[in-house]
Amino acid sequence: MKAGGPDGIPVEELDEAQARDELARLASAIDEADRAYHTEDAPRISDAAYDALKARNAAIEARFPDLKRPDSPSKRIGGVVAEGFAKVAHARRMLSLANAFEAGEVAEFVAGIRRFLGLPAEAALAFTAEPKIDGLSLSLRYEAGRLVQAATRGDGAVGENVTANARTISDIPDRIENAPTLLEVRGEVYMHHDDFAALNARQAERGGRTFANPRNAAAGSLRQLDSAITRSRPLRFFAYGWGALSEPLAATQMVAVERLAGFGFPTNPLMQRCESLEAMLACWAAIEQRRATLGYDIDGVVYKLDDLALQERLGMRSTTPRWALAHKFPAETAWTRLEAIDIQVGRTGALSPVARLGPVTVGGVVVANATLHNEDYIAGRDSRGAPIRDGKDIRAGDWVKIYRAGDVIPKVADVDLGRRPSGAEPYAFPEACPECGSPAIREPGDSVRRCTGGLICPAQAVERLKHFVSRAAFDIEGLGAKQVEAFWHDGWITEPADIFTLQSRYGSGLQQLKNREGWGEKSAANLFAAIEERRRIPLQRLIFALGIRHVGEAAAGLLARQYGTWDAFEAAMTRAEPGSAEWEELLGINGVGEVMATSLTAAFANDAERALIDRLIAQLDVEPAVQAAGDSPVAGKTVVFTGTLEKMTRAEAKARAEALGARVAGSVSAKTDLLVAGPGAGSKAKKAAELGIETIDEDGWLELVGGG
């Protein structure tokens, strides 16, 4: 390798000028590799070569801390800048949207809203329809008419402060007039096709980075630490919504957006009000027809219930509003050869078949892998045995049609039997785990075959560890998927608890860790400090990190809020079995069903699992969950609804109570704080009376929570 490469001048021999040059070279090489890997799905260098670049960068930074670049690769996790922007908590969460791909799903969306609100089928219900812009969302906070803060969406609750950059976008006014004293305007930052092409041409000329598509270019341009760079990029903005407000903007979505336009924000000219399902679908078709000539990327149509009071009543699920829907356009497709079918074993033992493909561009991104879901999918049938793709199976060597819908993983849509090589054999799905050899079993009714090796299966163990350190779980800086895998291979970390004893076992004088490839004194010390910092962990993150099947991030949040402390959670999971009060309480949580409850209790009842959890807990200091915030009179209380409700449906009552921070249970127990009883209330009302629990009627409830 040439001098200056990872095998070039040894780090100890670099002088300051050489080190500066070398850091610049490494930053751009790592940046390019990150982009190829994360953004284009087309790695250009091996993992080992990538690690060597990162290690050399870290070693030079450790020797010349003052030369560390503002865009240093050591600050980046994957393709994303992890540090550099201050974090901003959104005053109101930034939501995402539920997706639909077919007209039937749109009909169900409208019908579901009617059901939730208890409206008859003939009641008029108007929706707005507007393009779904393929950019990145931004929240702009105006106080007394001045732009005071701009934040990216982040995880919806906390975003990044990009105020200085947003000020450089000419579509975004610095001052607005006759607006509410507090107004958060939300919308999408995006780039026009011709601006994108010109930017890429300019970048290529200068030897800078080019972008895979306009959305990446917009994101990369907005998230620049140097706002002079953002200023030089042709970004645009469409306003389509709002967050916190000091006073309502209007009574309908349509008029509210017109007001935003009146304040000087660009709003989408194709937005329309539709008074029927047919009108919504017609609007979708009309927007799709114009898609190719708009000059910017859109990937669907967003429908929003027009009446804002009804939006309020509908509220939201954990991350998406019930009153809006994204109706996506059909995905882009491309044909390529399927080279091989590999099996990956996930953290819950699921055997997932992956298609290795001849690289092909689909929707502006190079794709080399696609999911094949499960064995039925490969065989050409769905979970009920009905044919899919007209029953055509998928074999190695086949020509397959690939599609990408939105940001999701590429999938195989079709097979060209005319091009099937002679001698191609049907794929035989393995019945033993390719990683540990244990039998791989398919339970009746399950579409997935699973390795039965449990904790002895190396793939499951590694995947569980990767999950454990992932961003929504322990998120330990310096200990990502790659590092944890390397430690696991060398036997340094075999289960989560080992992470917290790493220093006592291998950190003495830092010598052993320092001797590992890619670790220097500073990075080793940083790692131990980061691990120490995570010993104290919020309950919600801990529950998610355990990686129990069916328990995702949202469910972990619900469980944490319900039980408050680890001790209460653990005791309940240990005692909960069908029929017990603990089981009822668990199922009483909105969002927890039998499948999740069974999975949770099974994990705590399994001796090996339980021992692993206990060893982990012994290392931690678990932070109790913050009880649902708010000053509502029912925050933190357990409420039961019974009898007939006349002014709202049961679903609405429950959703509203939960939005106000209450827990809604299905049965009355000593833990119940309030019973809301409508006409016809029977045994629950009686039991509440016996237990001396406060009981009110529907009007009393509406008075209490300020509705009606």
As measured in angstroms, the least distance from the Cβ of 240 to ligand IVH is 4
**Which residue type is seen at 311?**
Q
As measured in angstroms, the least distance from the Cβ of 96 to ligand IVH is 4
As measured in angstroms, the least distance from the Cβ of 325 to ligand IVH is 10
As measured in angstroms, the least distance from the Cβ of 429 to ligand IVH is 34
Q: Could you tell me the two tokens for 259?
A: 């007001």
Residue 19 or 97: the one with the smaller Cβ distance to ligand IVH is 97
As measured in angstroms, the least distance from the Cβ of 274 to ligand IVH is 14
CA atoms within 13 A on the CB side of 576: 23
Residue 167 or 317: the one with the smaller Cβ distance to ligand IVH is 317
Which pairing describes strands 99-100 and 272-274: parallel, antiparallel, or unpaired? unpaired
Q: What is the DSSP code string of 192-232?
A: -HHHHHHHHHHHHHHT----SSHHHHHHHHHT-SSHHHHHT
Q: Kindly report the CA angle at 441 between 439 and 443, in degrees rounded to 5? A: 160
List 414's β-bridge partners, or say none. 401
d(Cα 219, Cα 427) in Å, to the nearest integer? 41
Residue 130 or 652: the one with the smaller Cβ distance to ligand IVH is 130
As measured in angstroms, the least distance from the Cβ of 158 to ligand IVH is 15
Q: What is the DSSP code string of 26-72?
A: HHHHHHHHHIIIIISS---S-HHHHHHHHHHHHHHHHH-GGG--TT-
Residue 173: C-alpha distances to residues 147, 169, 253, 276, 550 (Å): 8, 8, 21, 35, 45
Which pairing describes strands 399-404 and 146-152: parallel, antiparallel, or unpaired? unpaired
d(Cα 207, Cα 211) in Å, to the nearest integer? 12
d(Cα 590, Cα 575) in Å, to the nearest integer? 20
d(Cα 163, Cα 169) in Å, to the nearest integer? 10
* Nearest residue to ligand IVH on Cβ basis: 137
Sign of the CA dihedral running 69, 71, 73, 74: positive
Q: In sequence order, which residues have a C-beta less than 8 Å from that of residue 608 and are 6 or more positions away?
A: 454, 455
* Tally of CB atoms within 10 A around 569: 21
- Residue 676 backbone dihedrals phi, psi, to 5 degrees: -105, 110
Residue 130 or 398: the one with the smaller Cβ distance to ligand IVH is 130
Residue 14 or 254: the one with the smaller Cβ distance to ligand IVH is 254
In contact, 153 and 186? CB cutoff 8 Å: no
In contact, 674 and 696? CB cutoff 8 Å: yes
Given the rule CB under 6 A, which residues bind ligand IVH? 95-97, 130, 132-133, 137, 153, 188, 240-241, 302, 321, 324, 326
d(Cα 269, Cα 298) in Å, to the nearest integer? 14
List 54, 132, 328, 637, catalytic entry:
132
How deeply is 399 buried, as exposed, middle or buried, from its count of CB atoms within 10 A (0-12, 13-18, 19+)?
Answer: middle
Residue 147: C-alpha distances to residues 162, 298, 315, 336 (Å): 12, 27, 28, 49
647 included as an active-site residue: no
Determine the number of helices (DSSP H) and then strands (DSSP E) in the chain: 26, 26
Residue 137 or 483: the one with the smaller Cβ distance to ligand IVH is 137
Residue 14 or 138: the one with the smaller Cβ distance to ligand IVH is 138
CA dihedral 58, 64, 65, 68 (to 10 degrees): -70
As measured in angstroms, the least distance from the Cβ of 326 to ligand IVH is 5
As measured in angstroms, the least distance from the Cβ of 536 to ligand IVH is 32
Give the length of the chain.
Answer: 708
List 138's β-bridge partners, or say none. 152, 187
**Which residue type is seen at 677?**
A
Q: Kindly report the CA angle at 463 between 462 and 464, in degrees rounded to 5? A: 90
As measured in angstroms, the least distance from the Cβ of 94 to ligand IVH is 6
As measured in angstroms, the least distance from the Cβ of 316 to ligand IVH is 8
The DSSP 8-state label assigned to residue 242 in this structure reads E
Q: In sequence order, which residues have a C-beta less than 8 Å from that of residue 42 and are 6 or more positions away?
A: 36, 359, 366, 368
Residue 34 or 297: the one with the smaller Cβ distance to ligand IVH is 297
As measured in angstroms, the least distance from the Cβ of 31 to ligand IVH is 25
As measured in angstroms, the least distance from the Cβ of 542 to ligand IVH is 28
d(Cα 494, Cα 457) in Å, to the nearest integer? 11
Residue 101 or 399: the one with the smaller Cβ distance to ligand IVH is 101
Residue 241 or 453: the one with the smaller Cβ distance to ligand IVH is 241
Q: Which residue has the tokens 């099974």?
A: 602
Residue 130 or 463: the one with the smaller Cβ distance to ligand IVH is 130
Residue 268 or 483: the one with the smaller Cβ distance to ligand IVH is 268
In 3D space, the residue among 206, 211, 149 whose CA is nearest the CA of residue 174 turns out to be: 149
Catalytic residue numbers? 132
